[in-house]
């Protein structure tokens, strides 16, 4: 939805002087944008940062957004089509499109540089991965209806479609690179260097890569690691149990020896109720 979102932002900001302060209706043929730009529950958590910035920009305007299927849009007449064929694209839109492409590519390159994979390897294997090549095609050509999807893995991506985008043959989830299945274990081993533990390893993974079962895979890897098991924290000790409160003097006493001090030992007796101490000097701890 990045390009569709960019198109909306470009149109709204271009006509800012006409629509600012007025209520207007925004129509789009890209349904996922309704959940990002028109949701009353806020922006979805995993929405890409670019779309979050677009949504914040639109907060300045009073509008309602609605979905209109492509076939329902009015058809342009012959003269308008002839004009559009020869008209130069708006310079601001061209610059924004180039900037968007460069931003997306830089995300992929930065992520790939932190992994034992190159950008081209991820691109190549995304196009041959049985699952990701379908996801890539859906992102480019449109998603099927939910009730027609029977593959549970595709459904997991379908639920996150607002956060998915494509760039140069790769799939992005927000700012994270979606890894083909054949490279997932390799990425996990890279992320596990230093044996960071489950929570820390998940946090590292969320900065770089994504696939639907990544949290489960991280937990399985750490639990199977002998080094992580040996370094795991000991189970917490039981909470101390306090002595019952005595009902009167000398109902309970505490006795211990102190020393040696200057060649002598001291028998210490303390009444638990009054805290009264008795100290008896002895020559050895076996004295009666």
Q: Could you give the percent of the chain with pLDDT greater than 70?
A: 76
pTM check: above 0.85 = no
pLDDT (0 to 100) of residue 93? 47
- pLDDT grade, residue 270 (50/70/90)? very high
For residues 128-144, give the mean pLDDT.
89
Rounded mean pLDDT, 23-41: 76
Confidence of residue 241 (pLDDT cuts 50, 70, 90): confident
Domain range list for the chain: 2-86, 103-231, 243-288
Q: What is the pLDDT of residues 78-132, one digit of tens each?
A: 555 555 554 555 555 445 454 545 555 555 556 656 566 777 888 889 999 999 9
Mean pLDDT of 44-68: 75
Residue 271 has pLDDT above 80, yes or no: yes
101 in Cβ contact with 69 (< 8 Å): no
pLDDT at 8 over 80: yes
Q: Quick: pLDDT tens for 207-238.
A: 788 888 889 998 888 888 887 777 666 566 67
What's the pLDDT score for residue 131? 92
- Better-predicted residue by pLDDT, 209 or 77: 209
- The Cβ-side half-sphere exposure at 121, using a 13 Å CA radius, reads 14
Which residue is associated with the tokens 């957004």?
65
Give the C-alpha separation, 10 to 92, whole Å.
8
State residue 76's pLDDT score: 55
Q: What is the mean pLDDT of the chain?
A: 78
CA-based nearest residue to 104, from 2, 206, 209: 2
Query: What CA–CA distance (Å, rounded) separates 78 from 266?
Result: 111
**Separation in Å, CA 21 to CA 15, 18, 59, 61, 76:** 12, 9, 12, 7, 30
Q: How many residues in total does the chain contain?
A: 288
Is the Cβ–Cβ distance between 212 and 173 less than 8 Å? Answer: no
HSE value, Cβ hemisphere, 13 Å, CA-based, for 217: 17
Between 69 and 150, whose confidence is greater? 150
């Amino acid at each position: 939805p990045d390009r569709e979102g960019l198109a909306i932002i470009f149109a709204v900001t271009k006509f800012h002087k006409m629509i600012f302060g007025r209520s207007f209706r925004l129509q789009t043929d890209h349904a996922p944008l309704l959940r990002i730009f028109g949701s009353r529950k806020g922006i979805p958590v995993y929405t890409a940062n670019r779309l979050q910035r677009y949504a914040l920009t639109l907060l300045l305007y009073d509008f309602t957004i609605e979905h209109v299927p492509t076939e329902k849009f009015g058809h342009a007449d012959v003269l308008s089509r002839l004009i559009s064929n020869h008209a130069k694209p708006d310079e601001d839109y061209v610059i924004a499109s180039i900037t968007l492409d460069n931003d997306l590519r830089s995300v992929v390159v930065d992520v790939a540089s932190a992994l034992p994979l190159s950008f081209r390897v991820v691109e190549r294997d995304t196009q041959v991965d049985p699952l990701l090549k379908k996801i890539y095609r859906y992102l480019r050509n449109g998603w099927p209806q939910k009730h027609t999807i029977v593959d549970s893995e595709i459904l997991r991506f379908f639920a996150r479609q607002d956060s998915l985008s494509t760039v140069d043959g790769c799939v992005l989830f927000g700012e994270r690179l979606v890894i083909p299945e054949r490279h997932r274990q390799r990425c996990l081993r890279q992320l596990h260097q230093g044996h960071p533990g489950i929570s820390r390893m998940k946090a590292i993974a969320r900065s770089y890569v994504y696939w639907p079962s990544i949290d489960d895979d991280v937990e399985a890897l750490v639990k199977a690691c002998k080094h992580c098991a040996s370094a795991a924290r000991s189970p917490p000790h039981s909470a101390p149990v306090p002595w019952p409160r005595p009902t009167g003097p000398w109902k309970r006493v505490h006795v211990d020896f102190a020393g040696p001090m200057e060649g002598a030992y001291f028998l210490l007796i303390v009444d638990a109720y009054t805290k009264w101490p008795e100290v008896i000097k002895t020559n050895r701890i076996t004295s009666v």
